[in-house]
A and B are shown apart, each in its own frame.
Chain A
Amino acid sequence: MKHHPPQMFLDFFRWFCHPKMKKYIEGDLMELYDERLKKSGKKKADLRFIIDVLLLFRPGIIKPIEGYQQLNNYGMFKNYFKVGIRNILKHKAFSFINVSGLAIGMATCVLIMLYVMDELSYDKHFKDGHRIYRIASVVQDEKWVANPAPMAEGLKKDFPEVEQTTRLLRFPGAERMLLKDEQTRKQFFENNAYYVDSTFFELFNYDFKYGNPNTALREPNTIVISEQVAAKFFGNENPVGHVLKVGLSFGDFDYTIKGVFKDTKNKSHIPANLLLSMTNGDIGGWVQAQTDWASNSIFHTYVKLKEGSDATVFENKLADFLKRNGGKDLEATGTKKELFIQPLESIYLYSDYGYEVATNGNIKYIYIFTSIAAFLLLIACINFMNLSTARSEKRAREVGLRKVVGARKRALVSQFLSESVLMSLLALLLAVALIQLLLPIFNQLTSKELSLLQVPNVFAWLLALTIITGLISGTYPAFYLSSFKPVTVLKGKLLNTISAVAVRKSLVVFQFTISIILILGAIVISQQMKYLSNQGLGFNKNQQIILPIQTNEANKNSTTLANELLANSQVVNVTKGGTYPGIESVTSMLFYGEGKTALENVDVQTTYAEPGYIETLGIKLLQGRAFSKEFADDTNAVILNEEAVKQLGYTPDNTVGKKIFYEFQNQKHAMNVIGVVKDYHFQSLHQKIKPLMLTPAPFFGGPNQYLIANVKSTSYTELITAFEKKWKKINPESPFSYSFLDEDFQKNYIKEERTSQLIQYFTVIGIVIACMGLFGLATFIAEQRIKEIGVRKVLGASITQIVTLLSKDFLKLVIISIVISSPVAYYLMNKWLQGFAYRIDIQWWVFVLAGMVATLIAFCTVGYQAIKAALANPVKSLKSE
């Protein structure tokens, strides 16, 4: 029986001893121990051993602190590289599957990350951006991000920690302006026009090409334009001092250009093309008159806090501030309002409330897409893992031999890891090619202008991604392969250990679970989109052509034009209105019913609708009558929708003839209800139907009006040309523009449509990757069992039986995937659907469909290999090599 020296000291020695000398000295120690054991017995031998070890703890024998370097690393890596390349070339098919799987995963990951990075970059480029906040309010659980006009000044006066405030006024319908240059006779419609205070550039430091931001909008009747707009009119010249004519429907105004700001790649939640001074002739007077704190909250108010101020403390003081200044006005209307602040840098992704400046992004989608990117990459890596471990037999002997010759586990692991990183690098080359190929399509889908080069240090990131991919996908196979016992593998027996097979199977299950979740997501999202577009909206969405009236001239001639259009045989009806369903309408007023007080008021949207509005749009009239030219409607007649009737405390039957009241400048005014219409969706299906009122004359002076033409046509091009001709005849000075109501309505769902499309594409990609992996795996399994199949065929098995045998295992895995993915997908889909006031119910057959699709795909993938194997000639497969 062999005695052992004290293990603790032996371990201690092994730990501190210099690796180069370790085995020799240990040998000496053991030899001496053996002698002493025989001579003096265990106790003495142990004691001497301990003394020896302790006396060996001295410089010269202790290993260097920095760690001991094997000197031959470079040579080994050259060998790994050579062997790696040879392996890749030896099995071209598998290598191709592996590399392309990784490449697809990496390419999609990079594309999604480009998108995410772009979305995250909004508003990050403003100087001192972290000190800028927007004031927003909550009224009865509805959040609204604009404020009454006097709030900005009030904030500056009351709070010393506010360094500066500014306002941005977005007048609904006035964001699109007609710009005319008298000298060159050029005119263009320009979008994204906003009115701002002169302090605007103190908070938002735009880069000016011409002009001075500090003085640009100090005077009335001034305008600042973007570089792009300037180029359209003036090329590269300096247009400062030039006069532009701005055409609105109630007049044309001359403004002096005081500055041109550069178009940069920087994105902001304020996508301004034109910035006009709030003191300008068109609305300046109206702005000055806004002193009420409870009405016309359409001024976006931004504050810049002094350095070192505490934002939370500031926010807490706002409640008192509001009571102090606006309390009286708010009480008069019975409104309970609470204020809160929004940090500038979080507005684009997190603010999705009432009256945003422009369509914002959504942090939810960032999460969704980032997860998809991560999962697709993971699926690709799992492919790699599966294929590498499945084919491990081919490398087993090499591993055994290397171990015999003295390779340590660490060396083998680094060999296989470097092979997988090598494959990753090849995949990177392919991925970059794929990315460049797909970028144009992707940019179209996301309406962005993404490119690889816009990322700082793009090569470093790509390299990092490659190495991470290589490491993730290579770690498991590396450890698996390097754990082979040389004796076992060199004897030729390779145990496909149960745990290895189990891991492989669970990886396949994981891949398919993710794919099935994506399929389910794609199905549900497209169902919801179809539901939205087919939803009975309560009016006729199709065959409606909209002609915006944006100039004074067009306004004056609108009736003439309407009559001319009616002369066309394809035109059924023409009407005019202040808005139409599908676009934003924020004109609203507080009304209360008979027998109620001003405090029990209802916020009712007001829409100016000329006679014919209801008929043209196909809105259903329930009670009373519509506006008509025959009855001399005084301006106090109104038509309500069902929701308004309900909230005012009436019923549809008894409303006609009743009055509703509103307060203006402390005077009570009455309106007569002459009709009730059925609720129709004048806003997108994201929102529940709100109370609505139609008036025969504009309740508020709005800048824009629209001609709505209901047509019956199969060929729009001819019709539009005819319209254009008539327009040009009647309104020679105003440019012609038109749109289709159904398209405009659909614009409300751009975000969802885009998401739906992207998810559909990614689903396909995910499935393709998973199938590639499955294909490779099936090929391998079929190869492995070729002899077994040969024997079975000889014994009389039919092709069907063999195919079933081979496919059975895989199909079992797919079924497990279906079971796991269904509840997860159900939960996720439900959460997404919460964002819609009108939504579908997720039906059970969706899951069955997804499951069948997955099974079918898996079966096709595996089936091909199974059938090929089943058809093989048993004579050939049974001949031993």
Chain B
Amino acid sequence: MPFPDLAHLLILQIGINYSTMKKYQLGEFEEVVMLTVGILFEDAYGVSIKKEIETRLSRNVSVGALQTALKRLEDKGYLKSRDGEATEERAGRPKKYFQITALGKKAMEHTKSTRDELWKAIPKMALNLKISY
């Protein structure tokens, strides 16, 4: 097998970095959803996630936005789902419970660490500045 030359190695490295970055990208809402799923542990399904976010963050979450986010996260492999029971209130329809996968955990950690690094990089002065005229 021919040795990749230096240029190729460089491109490979950049590629890996880039894909790593792209791989672990989480949108803001997606991050919130993942955190909530973590909070709810084995109890995370559509309605419960919606209610939890609405309670904790005092913001309205539409079913559509939530479902889209959940689907996207599952497609990326950050969440896995399992079927739950059907109840009378749900007109006999089953629930779909979500859990965080190992990959998802990595993604969340990556996001958290990048945020923390950003925080660390802010000079103390910028945050303590109080503007008073």
Interface stretch, picked from A20-28, A161-169, A536-544, is A20-28
Cross-interface CB contact of B67 among A30, A32, A35, A61, cutoff 8 Å: A61
Cβ of A55 < 8 Å from any Cβ of B? yes
Contact B94 A23 (CB under 8 A): yes
CA distance A29 to B94 in the complex (A): 12
A57 to B68, CA, bound (A): 10
Contacts of B67 in A (CB 8 A): 21, 25, 28, 56, 60-61
Residue in A23, A27, A51, A61 whose beta carbon sits within 8 Å of that of B71 in the complex = A61
The interface bits of chain A over 18-54 (1 if a CB of B lies within 8 angstroms of the residue's CB, else 0) are: 0001011111111110110000000000000001100
Q: Which of A791-823 contact B (CB under 8 A)?
A: none
The CA of A239 and the CA of B90, in the complex, are separated in Å by 94
- Asked if A58 is an interface residue, CB under 8 A from chain B, the answer is yes
A28 to B62, CA, bound (A): 12
Chain A: CB-nearest residue to B81: A24
Contact call A30/B89, Cβ cutoff below 8 A? yes
- Taking residues whose C-beta sits less than 8 angstroms from the other chain, chain B's interface range is 20 to 34
Task: Give, as a whole number of angstroms, the nearest-CB distance from B2 to chain A.
Answer: 40
With the chains together, A868 CA to B67 CA distance in Å? 68
A32-B47, A52-B63, A55-B65 given; A24·B71 CB < 8 A: no
Asked if B105 is at the interface (CB within 8 A of a chain A CB), the reply is no
Q: If A24-B93, A31-B89 touch, does A56 touch B64 (CB 8 Å cutoff)?
A: yes
Q: What residues of A have a CB within 8 angstroms of the CB of B50 in the complex?
A: 28, 32
A30 touches B90 (CB 8 A): yes
Report if A24-B47 is in contact (Cβ < 8 Å); known contacts: A30-B89, A52-B62. no
| A25 pairs with B65, CB closer than 8 A | no
Whether the Cβ atoms of A58 and B86 lie closer than 8 Å is no
- Residues from chain B with a CB closer than 8 A to the CB of A24 are 45-46, 93-96
B106 contacts partner chain A, Cβ-Cβ < 8 Å = no
Q: Are B90 and A52 in contact (CB under 8 A)?
A: no
Residue contact A32 to B63, C-beta cutoff 8 Å:
yes
Residues in B whose Cβ lies below 8 Å from that of A25: 46, 63, 67
Q: How far is the CA of A213 from the CA of B46 in the complex (A)?
A: 86
Residues from chain B with Cβ under 8 Å of A55 in the complex? 62-65
Q: How far is the CB of A404 from chain B (nearest CB, A)?
A: 16
Q: In the complex the two chains form, what is the Cα distance from A52 to B68 in whole Å?
A: 13
Interface status of B131 (Cβ within 8 A of chain A): no
A contact residues, total (Cβ < 8 Å): 21
The docked-state distance in angstroms from the alpha carbon of A31 to that of B93 is 9
With the chains together, A28 CA to B50 CA distance in Å?
10
Within 8 A of B (CB), among A35-89: 35, 51-52, 55-58, 60-61
Residue numbers in B under 8 Å from A35 (CB-CB):
89
Across the interface, which residues of A come within 8 angstroms of B65, CB to CB?
55
Residues of A within 8 A of B47 (CB): 28, 31-32
Contact B91 A27 (CB under 8 A): yes
Contacts known (A23-B93, A23-B94, A30-B91); A60 close to B63, Cβ less than 8 A = no
Set of chain B residues within 8 Å of A34, measured between Cβ atoms: 89
* Residue B72 is within 8 A (CB to CB) of chain A in the complex: yes
Residue of B nearest to A10 (CB): B91
Task: Flag if B63 contacts A56 (CB, 8 Å).
Answer: yes
CB-contact partner of B64 in A27, A32, A52, under 8 A: A52
Interface residues of A in 517-548 (CB under 8 A from B): none
Chain B residues with CB under 8 A of A61: 64, 67-68, 71
Min CB distance, A48 to chain B, in Å? 10
Cross-chain contact A27 with B86 (CB below 8 angstroms): yes
Contact between chains at B94 and A27 (CB < 8 Å): yes
Q: Is the CB of B68 within 8 A of A60?
A: yes
Kindly supply a per-residue 1/0 record for chain A positions 540-578, scoring 1 wherever the CB is within 8 Å of any chain B CB and 0 otherwise. 000000000000000000000000000000000000000
Q: How far is the CA of A29 from the CA of B64 in the complex (A)?
A: 10
Residues of A within 8 Å of B89, CB to CB, are 30-31, 34-35
B90 interface neighbour in A31, A56, A57, A60, Cβ under 8 Å: A31
Contact (Cβ within 8 A) A27 B62: no
**44-75 of chain B: CB within 8 A of chain A:** 45-47, 50, 62-65, 67-68, 71-72
Q: Do A58 and B68 have beta carbons less than 8 Å apart?
A: yes
A60 touching B86, Cβ below 8 Å: no
* CB-defined contacts of B91 to chain A, threshold 8 Å: 26-27, 30
Residues of chain A within 8 A (CB-CB) of B46 are 24-25, 27-28
Question: Is A28 in contact with B63, judged by CB distance below 8 angstroms?
Answer: yes
Contacts of A26 in B (CB 8 A): 91, 93
**Chain B window 69-107, contacts with chain A (Cβ cutoff 8 Å), 1 for yes, 0 for no:** 001100000000000001101110111100000000000
Complex Cα distance, B47 from A28, in Å, reads 6
CB distance from A46 to the nearest CB of B (A): 15
Contact B68 A27, beta carbon cutoff 8 Å: no
Contact residues in A for B93 (Cβ distance below 8 Å):
23-24, 26-27, 30
Question: B83's closest neighbor in chain A, by CB?
Answer: A24
Q: How far is the CA of A573 from the CA of B46 in the complex (A)?
A: 112
Cα(A594)–Cα(B49), bound, Å: 119
**Contact indicator per residue, chain A 621-650, by CB within 8 Å of chain B (1) or not (0):** 000000000000000000000000000000
- Chain B residue numbers with a CB within 8 Å of A32 are 47, 50, 63
Q: How far is the CB of A721 from chain B (nearest CB, A)?
A: 97
Which residues of B lie under 8 Å from residue A29 when comparing CB positions? 63
Least CB separation from A59: chain B residue: B68
26 residue pairs from A and B, CB less than 8 Å apart: A23-B93, A24-B45, A24-B46, A24-B96, A25-B63, A26-B93, A27-B46, A27-B86, A27-B90, A27-B95, A28-B47, A28-B63, A28-B95, A30-B90, A30-B93, A31-B89, A34-B89, A35-B89, A52-B64, A55-B62, A58-B64, A60-B67, A60-B68, A60-B71, A61-B64, A61-B71
Q: Give the top 3 A-B pairs by smallest Cβ distance, nearest first.
A: A27-B93, A27-B90, A28-B46
Q: List 15 extra interface pairs beyond A31-B87, A52-B62, A57-B64, CB under 8 A.
A: A23-B93, A24-B45, A24-B94, A25-B46, A27-B86, A27-B93, A28-B45, A28-B47, A28-B50, A29-B63, A31-B90, A32-B47, A35-B89, A61-B64, A61-B68
